[in-house]
């Protein structure tokens, strides 16, 4: 194997670890702010314009316990607003259903 190939693999591993650390830090900060209830959505999202598909992970941290109604609303919300990033973290105020993007990760 060439040194360049090994350097590329190493750089990708470092980038992945850095993204992982960033996402964990963001989630810890949101939990400290009171967003300690979580919904995780996983699946394949298809871009309607390009018809390209990719695996996606969406995590929503909420400030109060989540009911079945909120889960259904989140599912419908993300069905319409498809994040382009592989992994996104959102926060939600359940009383007002205000949803805000907090982090994007690839």
Q: Give pLDDT tens digits for 5-32.
A: 545 656 666 666 667 788 889 999 999 9
Domain that includes residue 88, residue range? 3-105
Could you tell me which residues are beta bridge partners of residue 60? 39, 90
Q: Give pLDDT tens digits for 37-76.
A: 999 998 887 777 888 888 889 999 999 999 999 899 998 9
Cβ contact 31:97 at 8 Å: no
**How many distinct structural domains can be found in the chain?**
1
Which pair of tokens denotes residue 88? 């996104």
The confidence score (pLDDT) of residue 10 equals 62
Confidence (pTM): 0.78
| H or E element that contains 42 | strand 37-46
């Amino acid at each position: 194997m060439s040194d360049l190939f090994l350097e590329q693999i190493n750089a990708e591993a470092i980038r992945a670890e850095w993204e992982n650390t960033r996402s964990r830090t963001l989630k810890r900060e949101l939990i400290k702010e009171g967003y300690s209830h979580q919904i995780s959505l996983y699946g394949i999202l298809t871009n309607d314009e390009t018809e390209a598909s990719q695996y996606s992970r969406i995590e929503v941290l909420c400030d109060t316990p989540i009911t079945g109604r909120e889960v259904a609303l989140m599912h419908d919300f993300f069905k319409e607003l498809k994040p382009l990033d592989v992994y996104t973290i959102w926060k939600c105020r359940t009383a007002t259903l205000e949803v805000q993007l907090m982090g994007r990760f690839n």
